[in-house]
Structures are given as C-alpha cells and as structure tokens.
Amino acid sequence: MPVSEGGGSTFNSQAPSRLSEQTAPSSTATGTGLTRRKKPLNNRPKARRWLPLVVVTAMIIALWAYIPPVYKLRFGPVTVTRYDRHFGATRAVVGPGLRGWISTAKISKHALHAIIAEEDGRFYEHHGLDLDQMRKSYLVNLHRGHYARGASTISQQVVKMAFLTREKTLSRKLREAIGTLLMEMILTKDQILEWYINMAEFGDGVYGIEEGCWHYFKTKPEQLTVAQAVHLALVLPSPNGWSRGLRRKVLTPFGQRRFLAILNTMRNMGFVTKTQWTAAVTTGDFGRPLSGYTTLVEAPEPTPAPATVSPTASDQEKAADDDGQDSDEAIDAGPEEPTP
C-alpha cells in the first residue's frame, strides 16, 4: 500500500479499483450520474409498428373499390343496369354463352363498320382514350358555350355500361378513364367491340345487336345490309330520342343527314365501295332514296355536305334526357365529303 509523506496511507486516485471493476453496473456514465440503456427499437408499442402497413392496406382497398372491376370482362358474365323510360332501372346478366350474346365473327361486317364509323373512327388506333377527339370536343364546347360534342370512345362506353351509372360527374369520368386503360391491357379490341355490340341499346328498350336486328328488320346480324347497318348505328348516341324514324320506317330530315354522315364516313374509311355507297343512298330511307339523291349520285363525287349536322333544340333535349348507353356522346358529328 503506498505511503504518504506524512506517514499516513492513501489510495492512488489514478489506479482502478478491482472492487469497482467487479461490481460496477453495465451502464453509461453521464457527468457524475448514471443513465440506463435505451430500449431496443423492436420494443416499441406494436400499434406503432403496424400503423404504416394498416394505412397502405386501407389505401389499396379504397383504390380497389374505386376502380371498376374490368377484370370481370375477361371471361364474363357481368350484371348490368338497364334503363327504361317506363319501368325505370332493371338488372340484367350479360356475357358470352348467355342468351342474346353473339360473337363479332357472326355479325355482318357492315354492322361493325357502321358502328365504328359512327361511334369511334379511331377505335383500332387509340389505347382506350382518344386525346385528339377530347381536344376537339373541348374546343367545340368552349366555343358554343354549352355541351354539344362528346369524346367517349367505344372502350369507355363499355366500362360505363358494364359498371358505372349515368351520372355526369368528374368522379365518374375519372373512374371510367382508369377502368378503360386497364381494360385495354387485358382485352383485345375485338373482345371490347363484342362487349359493346351486345350491351348497346338500340331504342324501344332493345339491347344487343341481335335483338335490335330482329326487332327492326326481322333479320339476323350476319344478314344486315349496308343501309340497315347504318340505320342501327344512327341511333346509338341517343337510342330513345333518335329511333323515331327507325320505328316508323321513315327517316326524319335530321335522320337523313345523319344517315348520309355515317355513310360518307364509311366511304372515307374504305368500308364501302362507290357502288355500295350509291345503293345505300338510293334505298337508304327504307327502300326510298335519300333527299337530293339525284344530285348526289349523278355528280362525279357526292356534293359537299354541311360541315356539321347540328341537332335541333328538341333533338338536344332528347339526347340530354336519353336513357341510353351514351347520352353524353357526340351529337354534333356531321358528314364529310367522301374522297375519290
């Protein structure tokens, strides 16, 4: 033991005590006191650890509920809502293999071409949304100061008819757009078109092209002529409002202009020949020629038609209040002069 100058003894302050080494608790010194070790992170309350997972799961569920279940169209069937002026909303099951369903392979090409020409000329080119038509519709509606032209594609209409309501809200259009983009990833264009022709309304509470052919012409879809196909396509934007001529077998002046507009578009798209175009013009009004057919047929090329076929106020009201699949669709598309 060290001895001090005064004869006494003392501990060396620099030498560590064996006793302290053996008995000192495992802790961290802070100043003159001691602090306890921090608890490991995995000892946090369980609720805090699971919170991020709960939030993410809730978001996924909400998103899943918001997006239309377009995956059901991959094989079908689906339950759709149909609207009738007299009986209101009803439910129906539609899908491949069920009564009234018909494949595109069994339908006259004239019917498919007329529907594409009337409803969505760029159907096989876009990926569900036609941005060019959306831009044109925006400019037209902005210029006129009211809703006069829509831009929904056939694909968008399929999603709307299968899963959504007729309400005209931004939320519905957003759901429709998202569902359309997803549907285009899992279905072919022909499959989408097949769903459309089997769900579309043709007026008089008639749904599906097979029922429409028999109701108006007592014929089968594969036997439709060019003129008959145009008549069915003509009413699609407003089935109940614009099917009066189809029911009475006499085209109204407005119906004649729309008939010529669709026929001219089919000619421009290469769907009909000059001979077929002429035959449809001369017999288009249910066996009677269209107004002014002599001038149209005898001219080297059909004379230029008006730039647009604008519905009358009555026509617009019918379209706005229509119970059909596409009451927010283009109602202002006009005939174009066929190219040589």
In a domain, 1, yes or no: no
Out of 92-96, 292-296, 307-311, least confident range: 307-311
Q: Residue 286 has which token pair?
A: 């249910």
In the numeric block, the tokens 């459309």 are attached to: 196
Whether this prediction's pTM lies above 0.75 is answered by no
Has residue 336 got a pLDDT over 50? no
For residue range 22-63, what is the model confidence (pLDDT) as tens digits? 444 444 444 555 556 655 555 556 667 777 777 777 777 766
For residue range 178-221, what is the model confidence (pLDDT) as tens digits? 999 999 999 999 999 999 999 999 998 899 999 999 999 999 99
Q: Residue 260 has which token pair?
A: 């010529």
In a domain, 272, yes or no: yes
In a domain, 254, yes or no: yes
In a domain, 259, yes or no: yes
In a domain, 161, yes or no: yes
In a domain, 39, yes or no: no
Has residue 304 got a pLDDT over 50? no
Q: Return the CATH number at 98.
A: 1.10.3810.10
In a domain, 136, yes or no: yes
Q: Is 194 exposed, middle or buried (0-12, 13-18, 19+ CB in 10 A)?
A: buried
Residue 234's region, left for phi above 0, alpha for psi from -120 to 50, else beta, is alpha
Q: How many domains does the chain have?
A: 1
Has residue 150 got a pLDDT over 50? yes
Q: Give residue 177's domain range.
A: 67-319
pLDDT winner (highest mean) among 9-18, 96-105, 299-308, 316-325: 96-105
In a domain, 42, yes or no: no
Has residue 322 got a pLDDT over 90? no
For residue range 50-109, what is the model confidence (pLDDT) as tens digits? 777 777 777 777 666 779 999 999 998 999 998 877 778 889 999 999 999 999 999 999
Q: How far is it, in rounded angstroms, from Cα 129 to Cα 133? A: 9
Has residue 340 got a pLDDT over 60? no
Has residue 269 got a pLDDT over 90? yes
CA dihedral for 211, 217, 221, 225, sign (positive or negative): negative
181-188 long-range contacts (CB < 8 A, ≥24 apart) are 181/127, 181/128, 181/129, 182/67, 182/70, 182/71, 183/70, 183/73, 183/128, 183/155, 183/158, 183/159, 184/127, 184/128, 184/155, 186/70, 186/71, 186/73, 186/74, 187/73, 187/74
Name the more confident of 234 and 20.
Answer: 234
